[in-house]
């Protein structure tokens, strides 16, 4: 049977829609509020995006069937800058982006024409993504949909950010950004030629020396080496500038003067001085020592200030330059000896010397000096310790001492930050070379605050995090998180209420918006207008602050409306589960926690976070350049929504990267096809007298329900799906084998049992593959819709331990017969079984079983306990039996052992006699004779009977 996926999926989607099945209002049932990070609509969603949403949808559908009132909403994140850059590029008609839109995304020409306006891009892909979500069968309450630039949402964000400010969570400070001096704008990845992210190195510092009336600034990555300084370097071929910087006069290269003019400093050039004029003079350092300035060609005017301090012990370049001068008998240089300040295991007193000599560096222009510098830098940073030359920092590890020295110099006003572009030159799309600009009035969320971090940890400690092994990552993130800029100067979004120059940054306006879902329904239907959304209204509804009257008077809403909105929020909040990809752990998910604890009462803190890995495409990463991005809607068209849902879920555990490949999709398709076929031929009817295999399969089903439910609850969906699709199949095929061997024709309840079990199976499949499950449910002639049916409930009382034991015995026995037949290579002509009937063996067996269920597996201990008990003390006469029994039980699962202990008595002979014959005839072509060990008429020509053990009959094959 080939399934027309589109047709079936459409059929059921329409029914869900007609019934408004996913529109959720508060009611008397317990609720679950499941949310997933909303998408940024600058491209169609692909299979990778589909994963997070699908997982959340399965979660939502599962809880719905478990009887919860589930709210699963969706919004669209318009905030941000990427569409701005796109619009610019489209306006310029850039080939690359146009080709992408036309050929990869298949956007119609007349739509592309509108894309010069950023919002139109977002609008277009918003619609596109939403259609995809509907086609995937996501059970979303669309009445609550919004974008982050609608007035209602903006009111909400204004309230959020004001509240944070009131509570002291927002501070102002300076911050370096990549900057285009022509456009007068910050640049991000989307604004640069080649899409390079401008990386800013903030570990670079400027240290001030004095040379007469001038400040003589140098820059360094290693402030601690100030103790090892022997001289300074200037380039004799550079003409330096005299510039006033605020109220000092600095000597720097022309390039440097330009750079610092972007550091919020007042910079004016007042003259110049050739490098050669500086050389030979002396500057003073932080403690008043005179340091000579020497000439060096390697000093580049574009690096730092164009002036350099020299630490020949630990900087290979400095060492080499000094050697070059000594070789020329330079008078000052000849008196200079390196000063060693860092001790590193495995290195000599002057490591720079060692490394220069080891690499046979030829001179200060030797390119390999970079490499030598890097190597030594890393080594000393990781393993080095400051020595006694470093005063009170003596004995510190370099990596910690450096920060302390930096802070100390900074306090004295000798050191300041000198951020540089790490990956420069970076060019803006306009062609200009980008610089680092320090913004002095930037707004920050003060995530570095200890108290705030503490609250976040409290929240995380009580939260369920799935899978739990990502918890440590959250702890780490909270630890290293510090101030984060929460406003920017361009892009779509909401303006800061107190400073209209700034727009709330996009990762800051998406942290507590789940609360807005409870309100957006009323905004969307006009009950509440954006004008009504006053501070007092939000305070009252979300924080229970103030009172209803105040909220009503300021918002000009009726008390009824306000209490309805408040009830809605109170009913659905807190968020019960937040789903997101693992790339958002470091930012969004952590900010989500931090902002919740900053704003809401503890009872409203989020309950759970679910993190999933990404999706690979046929084993390799999805990327534009590789052209292996499959838009979700195209995939739905080609393969059907349900097969895609299952393929994404079944290919990996939650946190693992899932691999999407066509083979697994078609494998799943055919699995679903055969399941549908099976459902079509099963009809509900009376279940008659139960046979052994009936009791077994029904018991087994209970076990499956138990396992699968537990797996879904922990979001181990791959495992759950495996159970539904395959483990059930294994049970049923054994059942079918048994039934066929017995020639039962189905009228005596077999079909009814199959119907019952498959109904359970289809119900559990429903959250995963909702469309086809509805179809199966209908074919099974069950009433109503499966998505509205109850999740199958595990009932321990329906588990018949002895029938499970019995069937295990049967299977094991058949396996053993098969094994023997295989090893001997002979076709059995006669099969004889001997079951244990020895009272003593049985007593020992049960005793051993009891010991082992308690967790003990040691042969010695078992034996000791047996001997200690007078009833079994004779076991010592037959240690081989005990040994084998222990080994038998070893290879049984814990549950089987427990069940076996529960079953008081079980007649192996009777059971095997009645059940084994038919199936053995089918498997091996001959019937089976069963004797008890103690039978008088026993046929035992080879004396095998005495090897019989409980649940392990002896076997004779002739």
Partner RNA sequence: GCGGGAGUCGCCCAGCCCGGUCAAAGGCGUAGGGCUUAGGACCCUAUCUCUUAGGAGUUCGUGGGUUCAAAUCCCACCUCCCGCACCA
Question: Could you say which residues in the range 648-667 bind RNA, by CB under 7 A?
Answer: 651-653, 656-657, 659, 663-664, 667
Contact between 947 and RNA per CB under 7 A: yes
Q: Which of 248, 808, 838, 892 touches RNA by CB under 7 A?
A: 892
Q: Is 902 in the site for RNA (CB under 7 A)?
A: no
**Helix, strand, coil distribution of the chain in percent, nearest 5:** 50, 15, 35
Task: Give the count of beta carbons closer than 10 Å to the beta carbon of residue 461.
Answer: 9
Residues from 133 through 192 that contact RNA (CB under 7 A) = 175, 177-178, 186, 188-189
Q: Which stretch binds RNA (CB under 7 A): 57-65, 159-167, 347-355, 811-819?
A: 811-819
Q: Which is nearer to RNA, 62 or 591 (CB)?
A: 591
How near is the Cβ of 575 to RNA at its closest, in Å? 19
Give 713 or 892: the residue with its C-beta nearer to RNA: 892
Do 587 and 443 form a contact (C-beta atoms < 8 A)? no
Distance CA 228, CA 765 (A): 70
Residue 651 DSSP class = T
Report d(CA 641, CA 635) in Å as an integer: 8
Within 370-429, the residues that bind RNA by CB under 7 A are 378, 381-382, 399
Q: Does 588 bind RNA (CB under 7 A)?
A: yes
Say if CB 459 and CB 596 are below 8 A apart: yes
Residue selected from 483, 713, 748, 865 as contacting RNA according to rule CB under 7 A = 483
User: For residue 103, what are the CA distances in angstroms to 292, 316, 424, 629, 706?
Assistant: 65, 53, 33, 12, 48
DSSP 76: B
The residues near 140 (Cβ < 8 Å, ≥ 6 apart) are 22, 57, 72, 73, 74, 133, 134
Length of the chain: 958
User: What is the chain's Cα-based Rg?
Assistant: 38
How would you write 166-193 as a 3-class SS string? HCCCEEEEEEEEEEECCCCEECCHHHEC
Pick out residues in 553-572 that bind RNA (CB under 7 A).
Answer: none
81 touches RNA by CB under 7 A: yes
Task: Say if residues 44 and 125 touch (Cβ distance below 8 Å).
Answer: yes
Contacts for 446 with CB less than 8 Å, ≥ 6 apart: 168, 169, 170, 171, 452, 483
In the set 29, 602, 942, 946, which binds RNA (CB under 7 A)? 942
Binding test (CB under 7 A) with RNA, winner from 506, 520, 782, 787:
506
- State yes or no: residue 747 binds RNA (CB under 7 A): no
Question: Phi then psi for 234, rounded to 5 degrees?
Answer: -135, 150
Residue 481 Cβ vs RNA, minimum distance, rounded to whole Å: 5
460 binds RNA (CB under 7 A): no
At closest approach, how far in Å is the CB of 587 from RNA? 4
Beta bridge partners of 234: 295, 307
Q: Which is nearer to RNA, 297 or 657 (CB)?
A: 657
Are the beta carbons of 424 and 465 closer than 8 angstroms? no
The alpha helices in 548-618, defined as continuous H runs, are 548-555, 559-572, 590-599
- Nearer to RNA (CB atom), residue 81 or residue 219: 81
Return the residue of 423, 440, 469, 747 that touches RNA, per CB under 7 A. 469
What residues from 708 to 727 belong to the interface with RNA (CB under 7 A)? 719, 722, 726
> Using CB under 7 A, which of the segments 301-309, 335-343, 475-483, 794-802 binds RNA?
475-483
Using CB under 7 A, count the residues that bind RNA. Answer: 88
Binding pattern for the stretch 42-71 against RNA, x by CB under 7 A and - elsewhere: x-----------------------------
77 binds RNA (CB under 7 A): yes
CA distance 124 to 143: 19
Contact 948, 834 (CB under 8 A): yes
Nearest distance, CB of residue 635 and RNA, angstroms = 18
Least distance CB 271 / RNA (angstroms):
36
The residue among 696, 869, 685 whose CA lies nearest residue 759 is: 685
Q: In the complex, what is the shortest distance from the CB of residue 407 to RNA, in angstroms, rounded to a whole number?
A: 17
Under rule CB under 7 A, residue 89 binds RNA: no
**C-beta closer to RNA: residue 231 or 595:** 595
Q: How far is the CB of 399 from RNA (least distance, A)?
A: 6
Residue closer to RNA (CB basis): 816 or 838: 816
| CA dist 797 → 334, 741, 801 (Å) | 95, 29, 10
C-alpha to C-alpha distance for 139 and 837, rounded to whole angstroms: 59
Among 583, 618, 869, 910, binds RNA (CB under 7 A): 583
| CB contact at 8 A, 585 and 43 | no
Minimum Å gap between C-beta 177 and RNA is 6
Candidates 93-101, 635-643, 779-787, 822-830: pick the segment binding RNA (CB under 7 A).
Answer: 822-830
Q: Which of 14, 623, 740, 857 binds RNA (CB under 7 A)?
A: 857
Report 191-210 residues binding RNA (CB under 7 A). 197, 199-200
Nearest residue (CB) to RNA, 154 versus 813: 813
For residue 389, what are its two tokens? 């030359």
Return phi, psi of residue 348, to 5°. Answer: -80, -170
Q: Which of residues 674-713 bind RNA (CB under 7 A)?
A: 674
**Whose Cβ is closer to RNA: residue 266's or residue 476's?**
476
d(CA 90, CA 113): 9
State how far the Cα of 318 lies from the Cα of 309, in Å rounded to an integer: 8
> Is there binding between residue 482 and RNA (CB under 7 A)?
yes
Which CB atom, from 209 or from 696, has the smaller least distance to RNA? 696
By CB under 7 A, name the one of 29, 793, 890, 902 that touches RNA: 890
Pick out residues in 325-344 that bind RNA (CB under 7 A). Answer: none
Which window, 80-88, 329-337, 407-415, 750-758, contacts RNA (CB under 7 A)?
80-88
Give the residue with the Cβ less far from RNA, 299 or 764: 764
Beta bridge partners of residue 417, listed in sequence order: 205
DSSP 660: E
Q: Nearer to RNA by C-beta: 781 or 898?
A: 898
Handedness of CA 574, 167, 38, 555 (dihedral sign): positive
Counting Cα atoms < 13 Å in the Cβ hemisphere of 568 gives 19
Q: Is 883 in the site for RNA (CB under 7 A)?
A: no
262 Cβ contact partners less than 8 Å away, ≥ 6 residues apart: 179, 181, 435, 436, 437, 438
Q: Is 95 helix (H, G, I), strand (E, B) or coil?
A: helix
C-beta closer to RNA: residue 633 or 718 = 718
Minimum CB distance to RNA, residue 383 (Å): 9
According to CB under 7 A, which residues from 247 to 286 bind RNA? none
Alpha helices in 796-835 (DSSP H): 801-824
């Amino acid at each position: 049977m080939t399934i027309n996926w589109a047709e079936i999926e459409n059929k059921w989607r329409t029914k869900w829609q007609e019934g408004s099945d996913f529109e959720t209002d508060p009611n008397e049932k317990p609720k679950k509020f499941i949310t997933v990070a909303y998408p940024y609509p600058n491209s169609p969603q692909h299979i990778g995006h589909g994963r997070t949403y699908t997982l959340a949808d399965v979660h939502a559908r599962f809880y719905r069937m478990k009887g919860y009132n589930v709210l699963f909403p969706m919004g669209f994140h318009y905030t941000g800058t990427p569409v701005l850059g796109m619009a610019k590029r489209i306006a310029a008609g850039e080939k690359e982006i146009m080709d992408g839109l036309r050929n990869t995304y298949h956007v119609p020409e007349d739509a592309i024409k509108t894309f010069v306006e950023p919002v139109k891009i977002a609008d277009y892909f918003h619609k596109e993504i939403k259609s995809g979500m509907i086609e995937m069968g996501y059970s979303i309450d669309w009445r609550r949909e919004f974008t982050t630039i609608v007035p209602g949402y903006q009111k909400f964000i204004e309230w959020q950010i004001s509240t944070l400010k009131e509570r002291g969570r927002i501070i102002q400070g300076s911050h370096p950004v990549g900057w285009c001096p022509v456009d007068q704008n910050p640049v991000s990845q989307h604004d640069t030629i080649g899409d390079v992210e401008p990386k800013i190195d903030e570990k670079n510092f400027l240290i001030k020396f004095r040379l007469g009336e001038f400040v003589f600034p140098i820059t360094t990555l290693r402030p601690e080496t100030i103790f090892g300084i022997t001289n300074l370097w200037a380039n004799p071929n550079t003409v330096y500038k005299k510039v006033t910087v605020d109220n000092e006069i600095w000597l720097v290269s022309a390039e440097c003067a330009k750079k610092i003019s972007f550091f919020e400093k007042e910079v004016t050039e007042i003259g110049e001085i050739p490098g050669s004029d500086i050389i030979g003079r002396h500057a003073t350092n932080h403690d008043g020592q005179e340091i000579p300035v020497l000439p060096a060609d390697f000093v580049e005017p574009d690096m730092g200030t164009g002036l350099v301090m020299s630490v020949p012990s630990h900087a290979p370049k400095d060492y080499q330059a000094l050697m070059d001068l000594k070789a020329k008998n330079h008078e000052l240089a000849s008196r200079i000896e390196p000063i060693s300040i860092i001790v590193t295991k495995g290195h000599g007193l002057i490591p720079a010397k060692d490394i220069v000599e080891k690499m046979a560096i030829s001179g200060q222009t030797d390119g390999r000096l970079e490499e030598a510098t890097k190597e030594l830098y890393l080594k000393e940073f990781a393993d080095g310790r400051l020595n006694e030359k470093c005063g009170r920092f003596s004995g510190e590890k370099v990596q910690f001492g450096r920060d302390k020295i930096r802070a100390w110099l900074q306090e004295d006003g000798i050191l300041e930050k000198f951020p540089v572009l790490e990956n420069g030159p970076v060019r803006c799309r306009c062609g200009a070379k980008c610089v680092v600009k320090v913004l002095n009035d930037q707004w920050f969320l003060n995530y570095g605050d200890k108290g705030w971090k503490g609250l976040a940890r409290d929240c995380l400690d009580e939260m369920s995090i799935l899978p739990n092994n990502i918890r440590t990552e959250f702890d780490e993130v909270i630890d290293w998180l510090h101030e984060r800029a929460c406003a920017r100067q361009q892009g779509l979004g909401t303006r800061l209420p107190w400073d209209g120059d700034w727009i709330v940054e996009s990762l800051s306006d998406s942290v507590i918006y789940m609360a807005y879902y409870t309100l957006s329904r009323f905004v969307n239907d006009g009950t509440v207008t954006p004008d009504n959304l006053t501070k007092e209204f939000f305070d009252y509804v979300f924080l229970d602050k103030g009172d209803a009257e105040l909220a009503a008077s300021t918002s000009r809403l009726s008390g009824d409306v306000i209490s309805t909105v408040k009830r809605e929020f109170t009913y659905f909040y807190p968020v019960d589960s937040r789903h997101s990809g693992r790339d958002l752990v470091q930012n969004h998910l952590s900010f989500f926690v931090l902002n919740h604890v900053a704003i809401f009462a503890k009872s409203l803190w989020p309950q759970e976070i679910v993190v999933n890995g990404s999706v690979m495409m046929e084993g390799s990463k999805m990327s534009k350049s590789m052209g292996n991005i499959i838009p979700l809607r195209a995939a739905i068209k080609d393969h059907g929504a349900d097969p895609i849902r299952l393929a994404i879920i079944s290919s990996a555990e939650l946190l693992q990267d899932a691999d999407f490949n066509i083979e697994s999709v078609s494998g799943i398709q055919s699995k679903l096809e055969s399941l549908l076929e099976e459902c079509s031929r099963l009809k509900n009817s009376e279940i008659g007298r139960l046979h052994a295999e009936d009791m077994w399969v029904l018991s087994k089903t209970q076990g499956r329900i138990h396992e699968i439910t537990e797996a879904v609850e922990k979001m181990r969906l791959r495992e759950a799906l495996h159970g539904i699709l395959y483990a059930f199949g294994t049970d049923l095929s054994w059942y079918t084998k048994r039934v066929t061997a017995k020639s039962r024709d189905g009228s005596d309840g077999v079909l009814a049992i199959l119907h019952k079990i498959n109904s359970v199976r289809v119900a559990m499949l429903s959250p995963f593959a909702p469309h086809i499950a509805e179809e199966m449910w209908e074919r099974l002639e069950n009433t109503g819709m499966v998505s509205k049916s109850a999740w199958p409930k595990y009932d321990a009382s329906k588990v018949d331990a002895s029938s499970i034991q019995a069937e295990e015995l049967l299977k094991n026995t058949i396996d053993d017969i098969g094994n023997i037949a295989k090893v001997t290579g002979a076709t059995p002509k006669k099969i004889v079984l001997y079951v244990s009937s020895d009272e003593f063996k049985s007593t020992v067996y049960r005793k051993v079983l009891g010991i082992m269920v308690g967790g003990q597996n040691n042969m010695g201990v078992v034996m000791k306990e047996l001997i200690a008990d007078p009833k079994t003390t004779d076991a010592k006469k037959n240690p081989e039996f005990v040994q084998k029994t222990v080994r038998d039980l070893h290879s049984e699962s814990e549950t089987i052992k427990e069940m076996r202990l529960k079953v008081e008595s079980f007649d192996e002979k009777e059971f095997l006699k009645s059940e084994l014959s038919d199936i053995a005839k089918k498997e091996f072509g001959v019937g089976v004779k069963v004797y008890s060990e103690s039978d008088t008429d026993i046929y035992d020509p080879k004396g095998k009977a005495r090897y019989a053990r409980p649940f392990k009959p002896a076997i004779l094959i002739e």
